[in-house]
Structure 1
Amino acid sequence: MVRAYRHHPYHGRNPLPQTVVASWLRITQAQLSRVENGPPLVHLDRLAHWATLLGIPSSRLWFALPHLPTAATDLATKNHEEGATTNRRQFHAVAALAGITPTGCFELLAPRADPPPTVGMEQVRYAGSLVDEFRKADAEAGADTLCDIAMQVHERLSAWAAKAAYSRSVADALQSSLADLAIQAAWLAIDADRRAEARPYLNEAIARARIADDSRVEVRALACMSLLLREDRPGEAVHCAEAALRASAGFTTPRLRTLLHLRAAYAYATLRDTFSFDREITRARRAFDGGSHEDDPPFISFVTAQEVTGIQGLSYLALERPDRAADCFRAVTGSPSATHRRNNVYYTVQLARAASQHGDVGEAVLAGMRALPEVGQVRSGRVARLLADVRSRLAVAGRSAPPALNFVEAYDRAMA
């Protein structure tokens, strides 16, 4: 579309130079060239997301737009009808929990606050700081509590950034900060078990990172995309992990390589490619042996020895080896991480799943009972769904193994 505009006869015999149009878009000529000459977009969900954002009539599209509103759409509609993009009271409550201090920039999130006419580095730093604050709040409040709030904040900041003027020096930093915020919203959607809502944020993050030529943010987005796709589209998940490895070649650290090889290993296991899984899990363990590094990005702090073993266990589950998966989860839960409570609960539930699939009802019940009082406190829809799956399996097993019914009854009481 941009190229067609540049070559339109309205502009005369010669097309508008890329340098001129790039300056309007606040990107470089090289970036605009990649936009115009890159491979055609084929992902319908990304196309549908952009068509919705741009308000393109369905009659002008060769594909159908989804008609079922998501929870985020419902919430955004509700807020719009109330004349507010952000639920101020709800955000203030979580802001207090996260330690976000009321500053002049904080007022940008007020429901009826006018967007600033210009954006400077102060606002960019503020947008970037929100990522850290949401990460801290996630550990305290859980994704179920924060997901809608993060989506609303992202929408608000993206809206005022789109309308405001800013210098070329601010442009790339702003794109990177908004991309980071989009990735954080996507992660919260994944952990809240609202996976369908996560991908548009990651698509946006990748686009913003490429506009800003920010490989570090792009790698984080690709790693999160691989996590999102690893069960439903494992082939794409492998490609995302491999693309992240290539993009990070100039600045990668052992822990970052560990994470990306783990992403690929799980996806290969889902594809039932045992050879490639073994290769990637071996590479992940070798990279992990390289230790931590001062350049490790903050988002990989969860990549611990327990996480490596846990992902190996998840991969064995995907390969239909619940016996070996249970061994891995047993090792993880036997020496839990002191700083990653949610992961401890998650792998305890996975132990219950693996044991129930292996036919060890006794261990499944014990693990399920250990996890039950914790699940409500970590507020992770993803973990809650997995525990519900354990309950369903043990309800069936209870016909021949009465102890399983003890867990079913305890689960039902807790949920009630």
Structure 2
Amino acid sequence: MRRREFIAAGLGATLGLDAIPSAGRLGTADVERIRAIVPALYTHDHALGGGALHAVAEQALHAVHRALNHCTYGSRIERALYAASGDLAASAGWFAYDAGRQEDATALYSEALQAGMLAGDGMLQARVWSNLAMQARLLERDQEALRIGRAAVETRQAKADPWLMSLLHCRQAVGHARVGERTRAERSLARAESAYGRTSGARAPWLSFLTPAELTGLAGAAHQALGRYARAHELTLSALGMLEPRFERNRVYYTAQSAQALLDGGEIEAAAAEALRATVIGRRVQSDRVRGKLDGLRGQMRRHGHIPAAADFLEQTRQTGA
């Protein structure tokens, strides 16, 4: 059995999906059981990547659909169920996005938006808009990504939650930088820092990755897009130094970002060493986004194949690619 199938099978049992009723009357305990699925999935996502999780997340979502359609419940439980199912759909969409299954991600985000509307959950809707902006950026639709991100920033829920607002402004900073809007990128970074300074209390489980390391890494990505490679590398190294061990997928991602900053800055030997480090640790995660970043590095390194360090990197990764 392949690794991701083994993980999915094991997680399905651990999450207790068989305990979600498909008949009878649902109560608060059933809603809490469904809500507990998302934090458990994100614990594994940080280490393994979405490639290992999108299948089990969709399996969980199907179990929730059966409960919604075949069980009975009152209006209060109904709203709570739609909020919980929307949270799960948004999470499944994120895992599909990370796994490179963009059509699946789009459909799941659409379902999450509908559930958020039925539940009256504006925070869920703002979250999905943010993820849709990231997806548009991945597909190189940068202006669309900025427009979607702006809509998320302007929601009442985002304005009331500094955790979410900090993330949204950081992602907008990267978007502005990618289209060459230096002043707007810098303004968004400043707003992200200001919002993070106002955070307190517990954050939503899906925001568990939002730490000073993540904000610093995103700032590095913005400077990278602006062509400030030395500053991008400095910030990315700082992010890696702060990153907790549990965020293994992000460690690969930011190690690759560090290599990219070095490569774009003309430091080929250091870039090759960093790219190799990212490739080695990247074999433990299942993320199409990370794989694409590593593939891109390897493709660019071919231009410098006459340099021994680059040639060594290409040889060492020849069998498996990035």
Q: Which of residues 15, 24, 43 is equivalent to 1:100?
A: 15
Using the alignment, how far apart are the partners of 1:228 and 1:351 within structure 2?
Answer: 22
The residue correspondences of 1:229-244 to structure 2 (distance < 5 A) are 229-231=136-138, 232-244=140-152
* Match in the other structure for 1:210: 117
Using the alignment, how far apart are the partners of 2:159 and 2:191 within structure 1?
Answer: 18
Q: How many matched pairs? A: 318
TM-score by length of 1: 0.69
Question: Displacement, 1:375?
Answer: 0.4
TM-score by length of 2: 0.88
- Does the 8 A contact of 2:8 with 2:55 survive in 1? no
Q: Which amino acid aligns with 2:186?
A: D
State the Cα deviation string for residues 373-410 of structure 1 (Å, max 9, x = none): 21011222211221111111112211x31220111111
Using the alignment, how far apart are the partners of 2:308 and 2:101 within structure 1?
Answer: 34
* Match in the other structure for 1:359: 266
Using the alignment, how far apart are the partners of 2:319 and 2:209 within structure 1?
Answer: 32
Q: Which of residues 306, 317, 321 is equivalent to 1:411?
A: 317
* Match in the other structure for 1:222: 129
The residue correspondences of 1:239-258 to structure 2 (distance < 5 A) are 239-249=147-157, 252-258=160-166
* Match in the other structure for 1:165: 72
- Does the 8 A contact of 2:116 with 2:122 survive in 1? yes
Question: Displacement, 1:346?
Answer: 0.8
Q: What percent identity do the matched residue pairs reach?
A: 26
SS at match of 2:194: helix
SS at match of 1:229: helix
Q: Does 1:389 align with 2:304?
A: no
- Does the 8 A contact of 2:259 with 2:272 survive in 1? yes
* Match in the other structure for 1:53: none
**Higher mean C-alpha deviation, range 175-184 or range 378-387:** 378-387
Higher relative contact order (CA 8 A, sep 6+): 2
Larger % of helix: which? 2
- For the structure 1 residues 187 and 333, does the alpha-carbon distance in structure 2 shift closer, same or farther, using more than 3 Å as the test? same
SS at match of 1:230: helix
Q: Does 1:284 align with 2:198?
A: no
Q: Which amino acid aligns with 1:170?
A: I
SS at match of 2:314: helix
- Does the 8 A contact of 1:94 with 1:137 survive in 2? no
Q: Unpaired segments of 5 or more residues in structure 2?
A: none
Using the alignment, how far apart are the partners of 1:151 and 1:367 within structure 2?
Answer: 35
Rg larger in structure: 1
**Higher mean C-alpha deviation, range 171-180 or range 250-259:** 250-259
SS at match of 2:284: helix
State the Cα deviation string for residues 237-289 of structure 1 (Å, max 9, x = none): 23333333333458734332211111221122222222211111111122223
Q: Which of residues 345, 368, 376 is equivalent to 2:252?
A: 345
Question: Displacement, 1:368?
Answer: 1.1
Using the alignment, how far apart are the partners of 2:126 and 2:244 within structure 1?
Answer: 26
Using the alignment, how far apart are the partners of 2:240 and 2:48 within structure 1?
Answer: 22
Using the alignment, how far apart are the partners of 1:173 and 1:230 within structure 2?
Answer: 32
Question: Displacement, 1:324?
Answer: 3.4
* Match in the other structure for 2:276: 369
Q: Does 1:272 align with 2:187?
A: no
* Match in the other structure for 1:298: 205
Using the alignment, how far apart are the partners of 1:353 and 1:235 within structure 2?
Answer: 23
Question: Displacement, 1:142?
Answer: 2.9
Using the alignment, how far apart are the partners of 1:273 and 1:281 within structure 2?
Answer: 12
State the Cα deviation string for residues 276-329 of structure 1 (Å, max 9, x = none): 111111111222233x41143232222222212211222233334434322322
- For the structure 1 residues 407 and 204, does the alpha-carbon distance in structure 2 shift closer, same or farther, using more than 3 Å as the test? same
- Does the 8 A contact of 2:282 with 2:290 survive in 1? yes
Using the alignment, how far apart are the partners of 1:177 and 1:236 within structure 2?
Answer: 28
* Match in the other structure for 2:307: 401
SS at match of 2:307: coil
Using the alignment, how far apart are the partners of 1:306 and 1:90 within structure 2?
Answer: 28
SS at match of 1:281: helix
Q: Unpaired segments of 5 or more residues in structure 1?
A: 1-87, 109-114
The residue correspondences of 1:14-53 to structure 2 (distance < 5 A) are none
State the Cα deviation string for residues 179-210 of structure 1 (Å, max 9, x = none): 00011111111222223321221122112111
